[in-house]
Chains A and B, each alone.
Chain A
Amino acid sequence: MAIFTPANVSFIMAGFLKTIEISVLAIICSVVLGTVLALIKQYCTGKLSIFKWLVSAYIELFRCTPNLLWILFIYFTVKGSDVFISVLAFTLFTSAVMAEIVRGGLNSIPKSQFEAAKSQGFGFFASMRYIILPQTFKTIIPALFSQCTTVIKDSSYLAGINVMEFMFSAKVVMGYTTDLSQVLLLYGFVFLLYFALNFGISLVVRAYQRRVVAA
Chain B
Amino acid sequence: MLDGLFDPRRWQITLASMDSFWQGFGFTLQVTIAGLAISLVLGCILGVFSTTRSRILRAISRVYVEFFQNTPLPVQVFFYYMAGPRVLQAILGAPSPVRLSSFAIGALGVGLYHAAYISEVIRTGIESVPRGQMEAAQSQGFTRAQAYMLIILPQTFKVILPPLCNQALNLVKNTSVLALIAGGDLMYNADNFVSTYGYLQGYIMACVLYFIICFPLALLVQWLEKRSKVRPRAKKIPGITPEPTKEA
Contacts and interface: CB of A to CB of B under 8 A. Distances in A.
Interface string A44-84: 00000000000000001101111111001100111000000
Interface string A190-215: 11001100110010000000000000
Interface of B: 1-2, 66-67, 69-75, 78-79, 82-83, 86-87, 90, 169, 173-177, 179-180, 187, 190-191, 194, 200, 203, 206-207, 210-211, 214-215, 217-218
A72 B194 CA distance: 10
A167 interface: yes
- Most chain A CB atoms below 10 A, which of B69, B215, B218: B69
B71 A198 contact: yes
A157 B74 contact: yes
Contact of B1 (A77, A152, A159, A195): A77
Interface residues of A, number: 37
B210 to A, nearest CB: 5
A171 interface: yes
Given A73-B203, A174-B82, A64 B72 contact: no
Contacts, number: 113
B78 A171 contact: yes
A204 to B, nearest CB: 13
B203 A159 contact: no
A160 interface: yes
Q: Is the interface of B mostly helix, strand, loop or mixed?
A: helix
Nearest to B198: A76
Given A60-B218, A180-B86, A195 B70 contact: yes
Contacts of B79: 187, 191
A126 to B, nearest CB: 33
Contact of A194 (B71, B173, B187): B71
Contacts of A195: 66-67, 70-71
Contact of A157 (B70, B87, B177): B177
A18 interface: no
- Most chain A CB atoms below 10 A, which of B74, B87, B179, B214: B74
B200 A77 contact: yes
A154 interface: yes
A183 B82 contact: yes
B35 to A, nearest CB: 14
Nearest to A171: B78
Contacts of A187: 75, 79, 83
